[in-house]
Amino acid sequence: MKHPPTKTLQGLLLNVERALPLASDILLRGHLKQLRLFLGPAFNAFIMQAGKGVDSSRSNVTHEVQFDWLYLRNDPVMRRLYEAANTSQWNAESDIDWSLVFDPMDSIVPIIPDSYCPGVVLPEWQHFSAREKAEHRQSLLSFMLSQILHGEQGALFGAAQIMQGMPGMAGKLLGASQVADEARHVDVFHRYLSEKLGKSYEINENLFVLVQAIMSDSRWDVKFLGMQIMIEGFGLGAFTMIRNIVTEPTLKQILKLVISDEARHVNFGVTALERFYREELSEGERREREDLAFEISLLLQRRFLAHEIHQEYWTHRFNTRQWEAFVMDSQLMSMFRSSMFRLIIPNLKRIGLLSDRIKPSYEKLGVLHFENAPVICQMSADEILAPVS
């Protein structure tokens, strides 16, 4: 569904209203440096609707490129990850069975359980026909996978930038293999959405703000933090949650392959940033990254408030603020919160961005108890894929 055009006063005011919570919340928390980072992208995404109704968007980026003339591969973890990357390459065409036929509108074997559609608890749901319920399920899954696809494009660009900017050949080689992985992810999710689900959504504004802000920040470690630890970590959480609720075998197959790549990418991010943040940053610089990670957490969580589903089906029932409060309390959001933060919080702790100063902020979100959960590099594939209650 298209948003109101920015050129009308009504459209402009609505877009300003959608942007305000982001800016005012960051201001209230006193995170001025983060506000500066997000302000330009937020103007583009929310007010100008830069990612909507267009075939492509452009952004100017500047970052430092770092050559390495020693070519050493002396980091054992990165070397192991690089070897694993090379031996676990898969082919989007031949390793996935695209021939399986299914109907996303099937009411006998629903593509996801009704219980994940936020509207299921409303009295109106009982009056929906089987077809209407199927449309809600198809829309929700298409919305989630579309945002995953757009995030994958961000990861593709981010991986290329990080590979150029980070120090050391061990990381650059691993980063290059990640570029190939992300290209495959873009390819498979787009194919699944267009060939199998038959419906897709434009990029969510919160995700667009984040991707643009990370792309245009010149510091390699900030790109790494935003992309590898936060977006990839949240992505991994979202993949595992979706894999546990979908019934369709092709999508399950895709997600299993993607999850094994993403676990390696997050591991790469943790390995690269752990030493850098502990040894190379001043306390002020470390604090800035800590605040930034928290703001990114909130943006990533807002991405799943599903404003697009509100615009499509529920504007007669809720205004924007009421919808946000409603979705925040839904089963969908509670599952997302658990799946995502259980993978993010231990990683933030490991890289030194979970000090006593920031813990109360995560406590308020109800996710601090994950601080002692295992970090990705200590988890088996089965543990990563395990359902989270």
Which spans of this chain sit near Fe ion (rule: CB under 5 A)? 152, 155, 182, 185, 232, 262, 265
- Angstrom distance (rounded) from CA 371 to CA 376: 12
- Please identify, using beta-carbon distances, which residue of 221 and 291 lies nearer to Fe ion: 221
Shortest reach from residue 82's CB to Fe ion, in Å: 15
Pick left, alpha or beta for residue 71 (phi over 0 → left; psi -120 to 50 → alpha; otherwise beta).
left
Can you tell me which residue has the tokens 């933030």? 348
Q: Look up residue 118 and give its DSSP letter.
A: G
Q: Look up residue 8 and give its DSSP letter.
A: S
CA dihedral 196, 251, 185, 81 (to 10 degrees): -170
- Please identify, using beta-carbon distances, which residue of 42 and 255 lies nearer to Fe ion: 255
- Angstrom distance (rounded) from CA 295 to CA 209: 12
Output the CA–CA distances (angstroms, integers) from residue 131 to 106, 162, 194, 247, 309, in the order listed.
Answer: 9, 46, 20, 18, 17
- Please identify, using beta-carbon distances, which residue of 118 and 233 lies nearer to Fe ion: 233
- Please identify, using beta-carbon distances, which residue of 155 and 166 lies nearer to Fe ion: 155
Shortest reach from residue 163's CB to Fe ion, in Å: 13
**Which tokens hold the place of 173?**
């080689």
- Sequence-separated (6 or more) residues with CB below 8 Å from residue 367: 337, 338, 341, 345
- Please identify, using beta-carbon distances, which residue of 148 and 209 lies nearer to Fe ion: 148
Shortest reach from residue 152's CB to Fe ion, in Å: 5
- Please identify, using beta-carbon distances, which residue of 189 and 336 lies nearer to Fe ion: 189
Shortest reach from residue 224's CB to Fe ion, in Å: 12
- Please identify, using beta-carbon distances, which residue of 239 and 323 lies nearer to Fe ion: 239
Shortest reach from residue 191's CB to Fe ion, in Å: 14
- Please identify, using beta-carbon distances, which residue of 120 and 255 lies nearer to Fe ion: 255
Shortest reach from residue 308's CB to Fe ion, in Å: 22
- Angstrom distance (rounded) from CA 349 to CA 353: 6
Shortest reach from residue 159's CB to Fe ion, in Å: 7
**Which tokens hold the place of 281?**
């940053």
Shortest reach from residue 221's CB to Fe ion, in Å: 17
Other residues' Cβ atoms within 10 Å of the Cβ of residue 385: 17
- Angstrom distance (rounded) from CA 229 to CA 232: 6
**Which tokens hold the place of 77?**
């973890």
Max intra-chain CA distance, the chain: 68
Residue 155's Cβ-count burial label (10 Å; 0-12, 13-18, 19+) is: buried
